[in-house]
Every structure is written in C-alpha cells, then in structure tokens.
Amino acid sequence: MACKKCGPDPVMRLSSGVKLCRSCFIKYFEKKVRKTLRIFSLIEAKERIAVAVSGGKDSISVLSILNDIASKKKHFQLFAILIDEGISGYREHTIATAKSFCEERNIPLHVYSFKKEFGYTLDEMVKKLGMKPCTICGVFRRYLLNRAARELKADKLVTGHNMDDEAQSVLMNQFKSNIGLSARLGPITGVKTDRRFVRRIKPLYMVSEKEVALYALLKNLRGKHNECTYENLSFRGEIRDMLNYLEDKHHGVKNNVINSYLEIMPVLKEKYKTEDQINSCLKCNEPTSGDVCAACELLAKLK
C-alpha cells in the first residue's frame, strides 16, 4: 500500500513497521473502516441509517466516511441525530461543528436536548443528584438516542466508538464483574432483536483512537473542542489511562483485548440471549430489563 513518499515523509508508523504518508494513511484508514462494515455485515442494502453525531472527531469521521459511501453507491439512506446534554463550555461548540458539517453536505440533522426532553440539563442534573456525570449522561443519552432513532424509523444506529472505547468497556466489565454487559458489546450491539431497540453498529471498531484523531486532523474534520469536561471524572478515564500506559510499554495490547473479546463474543451472546428479559417500563413504556427503566428512576429522583 505504501508509496515511495512514505519512507521519508510518514505521518504514521503501523505496528508492522510500515510507514505511511498522508495520502496512504487516509486510504489505509478508510479501507479499514469499509472492511469492518463488510466483514461484520453492519449495513444492508436499502436500510435507513442514523448516525449519533456529537461534533467530536469520532462521530464526524464515521459520518464523513458513511456519507461518501452513501453518496457514491446510494444503497442506504443516511441522517444524523445529535443529543444536546447541556454541558456548558463544551457542547455548544461541538453542536456548531456538527451543524456546519451536516449543512455543507446536505445531511439531515435532528437535534434533541436533555433540557427539552427531561426538564434539566446535564449540568443541572449533576448538581441536583450528586452522582457521577458519566453515569447520569449514559442513562439519558442511551434512552434518548434509541427513542429518537426508533421514532425517525432508523434500521440501524451508528455510534463513533473506536477500538480504545471497546477495549475500555471490556475491561471495565471484567473489573466490575458485569459479564452480562460484555455480551451486549461488539460491532453490532445487543444479544437479541426487539422492535423497540434500534441495533447499534460501530464502523470504527477496528481502528484506534490515535488513528481516528490523525484521520480527523488530516481531513480537517476535527473541531477545537473535542473532550467532554466531565471525561476525567469517570472510572472509564482511569481504565483509558491504564490501557494507554500498557499500549506504550507493550504495543498491540488494545488490539489483543479486542481480538480476544471477539473470540468469546458468540458464546457470551448465546448465553445471555435467554437470560436477558426485555420488559416495558411501567412509567414510559420504553424497553427495560426491570419494571421501571433507569431513566425514569433518575427522573423520579430529580423531581
């Protein structure tokens, strides 16, 4: 793949030792994403695909690649969903990036906000509940994304999760003994199909965060505000730092975590397919494993 310019003027050196110039790296990255789409059959013909876009490097990069594919092959429909959690000093900047990107490429963008849907911004929720921001955000963001994607008749919901994100999730579940949650991970999330859930897919599954960051930089897709102000307050942040340290000492650790998980993933999904019970929330009628969904439980505490 490497051209003659890659040796003296590389932007990335792969684990194999191959050095890639700007042009070759972009081709390498996009080919890797397309391969992920193909080998895991993430998108089928004539599907209506929603992309969860935040304005950060990951979601903008995957939206850009999928838009290029959709524009040329026209075998699936593409639109974007943006969740405004209400994080002062951060989210307003990424929203501007996402809106500008979608307007320039004529990608339909649907915006939903915590304030409008739940009555509070995330900042207000954190002060009122005294809980970790990422715990609160995760519950309401997943709830709203699924509901929005379903109401907009999406067949699949694309997220910008990359290899680092997935490796962190696998280890977090191991350390917390939440193996049932690991069964729901993978390039296509979930263990069973249900009309109330829109299946989530991860086209960036096999690319590292470092590769995504470089791709976004080289393609001029990266905004000025890419890190959430709450990011370093989470357990995930500690796992991220640990994995980055190990990756520096032992190159390939993150890739090995993912490949090891993919080997046991079919067994996990089969095991928890019969154990996971999907009910309807008694308060909002959204799908849940219990009687009342986590979002409604938190709303009750807020009120």
CA-to-CA distance for 268 and 184, rounded, in angstroms? 8
Instruction: Find tokens 């709450």 and name the residue.
Output: 230
Confidence band of 199 (pLDDT split at 50, 70, 90): very high
- Measuring CA to CA, how many Å separate 3 from each of 9, 18, 218? 10, 11, 17
- Measuring CA to CA, how many Å separate 94 from each of 53, 82, 83, 221? 9, 10, 11, 12
Give the other-Cβ count within 10 Å of 45's Cβ.
Answer: 7
The CATH class of 22-277 is alpha beta
Confirm if 126 and 140 have CB atoms less than 8 A apart: no
CA-to-CA distance for 270 and 173, rounded, in angstroms? 18
Confirm if 269 and 263 have CB atoms less than 8 A apart: no
CA 202 to chain centre: 7
Instruction: Find tokens 């932007």 and name the residue.
Output: 11
- pLDDT of 154 reads 97
* Helix/strand/coil for 95: helix
Three-class SS string for 170-206? HHHHHHCCCHHHHCCCCCECCCCCCCCCCEEECCCCC
- pLDDT of 274 reads 76
Domain parsing of the chain, residue ranges: 22-277
pLDDT over 70 at 1, yes or no? no
> Model confidence over 171-195: pLDDT tens digits?
999 999 999 899 999 999 988 888 8
Rounded to the nearest integer, the mean pLDDT of the chain is 90
> Taking the chain, what is the end-to-end CA distance rounded to the nearest angstrom?
58
Helix, strand, coil share (%) of the chain residues, nearest 5: 50, 10, 40
- pLDDT of 193 reads 82
Confidence band of 8 (pLDDT split at 50, 70, 90): low
> Model confidence over 101-125: pLDDT tens digits?
999 999 999 999 999 999 999 999 9
Confidence band of 7 (pLDDT split at 50, 70, 90): low
Confirm if 222 and 57 have CB atoms less than 8 A apart: yes
82 contact partners, CB below 8 Å, separation of at least 6: 52, 53, 54, 55, 95, 98, 99, 109, 110, 111, 112
User: Roughly what angle, to the nearest 10 degrees, separates helices 57-73 and 209-218?
Assistant: 70
> Model confidence over 130-150: pLDDT tens digits?
888 888 999 999 999 999 999
Confidence band of 91 (pLDDT split at 50, 70, 90): confident
Mean pLDDT of 186-205: 92
Assessment of whether the complete model's pTM goes beyond 0.75:
yes
pLDDT over 80 at 6, yes or no? no
> Model confidence over 20-63: pLDDT tens digits?
989 999 999 999 999 999 999 999 999 999 999 988 899 999 99
> Model confidence over 214-260: pLDDT tens digits?
999 999 987 665 567 766 667 888 999 999 999 999 989 999 999 99
- pLDDT of 87 reads 87
CA 243 to chain centre: 18
Which is nearest to 191 in space by CA: 259, 293, 270? 270
213 contact partners, CB below 8 Å, separation of at least 6: 57, 222
pLDDT over 60 at 2, yes or no? no
